[in-house]
Structure 1
Amino acid sequence: MKSAILAFGLAVGGPALALAQPVAIINARIETAGPQGSIASGTLVMDQGRIVAVGPTIGVPAGAKIIDAKGQVVTPGLIQASTSLGISEIEQVPETRDDGAGQKLGAAFNPAAGINPDAPTISLARLNGVTRAFLTPVAGRSGGGAHAHDDSAFATAGGHEEDDPTLFAGQAIGINLASDQTDLVFKTNAGMVLQFGESAAAAAGGSRGASLILLKQVLADTRHFAANRAAYDKGEGRGLMVSRLDLEALVPVVQGRSPLLVRVSSANDIRQVLKLAREEKLSIILEGAEEGWRVAAELAAAKVPVIIDSQAALPSSFETLGTHLDNARVLQAAGVSVAIMGSRDYNNLRQSRMNAGTAVAHGLPYQQALQAITLVPARIWGVDQETGSLEAGKAADVVIWSGDPLEGQSYPTAVFIAGVAQPMTSRSTELAARYKPASDTSPRPAYRN
């Protein structure tokens, strides 16, 4: 049975194809990222947007569309654990950046309204096997990196100075990358993003101690606000450091209903964050954690997951002097739940799987590396019952790869999001079709009269 992948309604430039019949992918090496692990040769059946069955001896339903993936690899769709995809396009062009609120908002900032479903980076991400992503704002707009220094301010609240420092970047949200949707958000208020370490110290006037005091005060103010809303509305009670908008956004965090994503690098700063989480009873996720390997046992004991760039090996700042290429291996071996992120460089969306491959080269087991870009991000953000692995009942976010997805030369040959086949095109492929010389010397479309 010949491969029907490209013939399966994935023509260049065509729209996403809604599937009106079951689809069976057969003869594939299936990396489930779930309880079944790796299946050397198996079948995956999807129907009505869901995975119906997956395994080595699954029967093909009558009337199913069959895709023979012999020699290819099937995985769950990749999940970007922390990114600015869709809310920032060109780092040096402020008009294309909606990943930070500047000085007007802090915790209350929600980037959802700034998502551009037509951003070229979204189709590029799909071509690299990404089906879902979690957007995490940056404090201010000072550089776009996960640990960028920031001079933005708290939103004012009744007589407070405009230059009070901000530590909170805003709210995390989850999007799917389906080409046939204009509203990509599938999870709102996924968490709150907090800067810590050098970035927070800079925002607080240069001192980590000052930033920690301010942070504790904001948390205390939030608890006070939650317990005294009526008095606040009457203008009664003590003064609070931040605006009502920020206080409202932080209530789920202090009540333990929403996780706090903390951007932090050094081992000492990580210890301070763990102590704060214990004292304040916060549910936290760490991003960065370049020196996480030094405190791996403490992170495991606290059951705190981390999102890391496993390719971070050069000390770009004093807080990352201990960065190490085997960070992922040490953390995972200690029992820490590890997700691997790519660069926040918006056109470098292949990097998460490249980073996973780098982690394997430095000792992280293959299955854990694959889960670090699929199931673990889903679990961290609370959507693992919906996506992240190939299991019956979950959304049919499925990618067929030409080879091992953690190898640089492999590429997706088909991508499904909730069972819908996605167009295998991007701005890059469209430009190539427009300008690449034809073998028969006829003019390309760009040069025709």
Structure 2
Amino acid sequence: MTRLLSLGAVSALALAAAPASAQDVTITNAKLVIGDGSAPIEGGTVVVKGGAVVYAGPAAGAPAGGAAVDAQGAWVTPGLFATVTTLGLADVAAVSQSNDTAPERTPFSAALDASKAINPTSQHILVHKAAGITRAATTMAPAGSIFAGQGAIIDLDGDASPIVQARAFQMVVLGEGGADRAGGSRVAAHVLLRAALREAQALVGKTAIPETTEIAKGDAVYLSRFDAEALVPVVTGRQKLYVAADRMADIRAVLALKQEFPRLDLVLVGATEGWLVAKDIAAVGVPVIANGLTDLPETFEQLGATQSNIGRMQRAGVKVAINAAADQNARRLAQQAGNLVALTRLPGAAGLTWDQAFAAISSVPAEISGMGGKAGVLKAGALGDVVIWDGDPLELGTVPTRVFIGGVQQDLANHQTRLRDRYIDLDESDRPKAYDW
């Protein structure tokens, strides 16, 4: 513990003295996790130059680097990749003026662009960065439509430009939530989605978007021209389509969309009953951002819930990431991954190996989000997102001691740490009455 406290003190001094620019750094003597599902490397080395990884592997093959950091045997990993989240879109959820997650009164849906409202100094971003999350896919929640708009890929370094990729994916909600927004029935939600995609398909190749399209006039599809235009990249495969669906029947209906719209770049979100149709998902090649620990049905569409969901889909050949939205707090991603490792020790349960579980919160969500090889891994050419931990990253209670994003060492202070520091050394009589609660 003394070593870790000293390491943290050195980090704080370095941050106070150095400008926020990419650092050339060589981290040695690490229990190195590449993040791609391979086993950790004892005594490994990571070299970051100009904001990118130039080497990660055994010490013997490491090139000369910049400032040396001796990890003293600590775990060193790529930054975690959180998807799907609302990070940066709300400061206080209960205060509407600070909450941009659900535009309830807008006439638009698919055209909404989450990147326009990201607040890089949000305390939520700072808190999650302190948990080792360095990149995230963030999106709004659907309001008056099944379409939640276009999500963005962001970094969590707190600078003025957090957007890595704007309009990275379109978010659609089916199931019970979509049914409610489409008129009270799953039937209506599926028809609305297919009709909207057809309307967008009719616009492909047009240089000027009319006020209303021919399909809208003839079939009364309720999409503004801006929403229809926003779906053109979806039907042409240039923008990913994230579809939230939990029930087996809904998942099958989503997979069937590929027959009518073969260029769709589909991603399933949630997929609580995905294990029941895992072979079908694998056959179509659709990746899944799955709920990690759902084991009791909160709704009728989750009657087949099991914590073995991810393990069973993974065994069937499905590319699976852990869904950050399944937990109210995305910084618990590592805890979810750790529980999936624990499942491998239960008779009859299907979990993940440690290496698979870590990949499910690092390289796999990065690949699904379109950042394969650039985020969630420590390989040459990847972004310099590196985290040093005070223990096994998937064990409850483990925290980062240093976080680098794009080669820049981060200040891990936030509102929560300041409250901790404010009260931790106070005499019992000086503490608020609720402190011990």
The TM-score, its normalising length taken from structure 1, stands at 0.86
From 65, 71, 74, the counterpart of 1:72: 74
| 2:287 aligned residue | 305
| 1:359 aligned residue | 340
Native 8 Å contact 1:79 1:388 kept in 2: yes
From 201, 225, 230, the counterpart of 1:223: 201
| 1:419 aligned residue | 407
Native 8 Å contact 2:364 2:376 kept in 1: yes
From 131, 136, 157, the counterpart of 1:178: 157
Native 8 Å contact 2:115 2:167 kept in 1: no
Opposite residue 323 of structure 2, the aligned amino acid is: M
What is the count of residue pairs matched by the alignment?
A: 416
| 1:85 aligned residue | 87
| 2:131 aligned residue | 128
Partner Cα distance (1:338, 1:63) in 2: 35
TM superposition shift of 1:17 = 4.8
Q: 1:419 to 1:75 in 2, by over 3 A?
A: same
Does 1:381 pair with 2:381? no
Native 8 Å contact 1:80 1:341 kept in 2: yes
Partner Cα distance (1:225, 1:358) in 2: 46
TM superposition shift of 1:60 = 6.3
Q: Please list every run of 5 or more consecutive structure 1 residues that lacks an aligned counterpart in the other structure.
A: 141-151, 153-165, 444-449
Q: 1:238 to 1:260 in 2, by over 3 A?
A: closer
Does 1:246 pair with 2:224? no
- Pick the structure with more helix per residue: 2
* 1:3-402 aligned within 5 A: 5-11=7-13, 14=16, 17-18=19-20, 22-34=24-36, 37-58=39-60, 64-104=66-106, 105-140=108-143, 152=144, 166-179=145-158, 181-228=159-206, 230=208, 232=210, 239=217, 241-281=222-262, 282-343=264-325, 348-362=329-343, 363-402=351-390
Secondary structure in structure 1 of the residue aligned to 2:164: strand
Native 8 Å contact 1:17 1:422 kept in 2: no
Opposite residue 423 of structure 2, the aligned amino acid is: Y
Q: Deviations along 1:145-194, whole A, 9 cap, x unmatched?
A: xxxxxxx1xxxxxxxxxxxxx21110010100113x11200111111000
- What is the RMSD computed on CA atoms of the aligned residues? 2.6
TM superposition shift of 1:71 = 2.9
TM superposition shift of 1:259 = 1.2
Q: 1:221 to 1:175 in 2, by over 3 A?
A: same
Q: 1:200 to 1:63 in 2, by over 3 A?
A: closer
Native 8 Å contact 1:78 1:373 kept in 2: yes
Native 8 Å contact 2:26 2:65 kept in 1: no
Opposite residue 317 of structure 1, the aligned amino acid is: T
Opposite residue 195 of structure 1, the aligned amino acid is: V
Opposite residue 342 of structure 1, the aligned amino acid is: A
Partner Cα distance (2:216, 2:269) in 1: 34
The TM-score, its normalising length taken from structure 2, stands at 0.88
Q: 1:15 to 1:197 in 2, by over 3 A?
A: farther
Q: 1:12 to 1:50 in 2, by over 3 A?
A: closer
TM superposition shift of 1:244 = 1.2
Q: Please list every run of 5 or more consecutive structure 2 residues that lacks an aligned counterpart in the other structure.
A: 344-350, 432-437
Opposite residue 92 of structure 1, the aligned amino acid is: A
TM superposition shift of 1:97 = 1.3
Greater displacement, 378-387 / 17-26: 17-26
Q: Deviations along 1:298-352, whole A, 9 cap, x unmatched?
A: 1111111111121111111000011101111101000101111234666x23211
Q: 1:110 to 1:19 in 2, by over 3 A?
A: closer
Q: 1:36 to 1:199 in 2, by over 3 A?
A: closer
Greater displacement, 54-63 / 355-364: 54-63
Q: Deviations along 1:349-401, whole A, 9 cap, x unmatched?
A: 32111111111112212111111100011100111132110001211100001
Q: Deviations along 1:59-90, whole A, 9 cap, x unmatched?
A: 66667322111231011000101000110233
Native 8 Å contact 2:213 2:225 kept in 1: no
Partner Cα distance (1:60, 1:396) in 2: 16
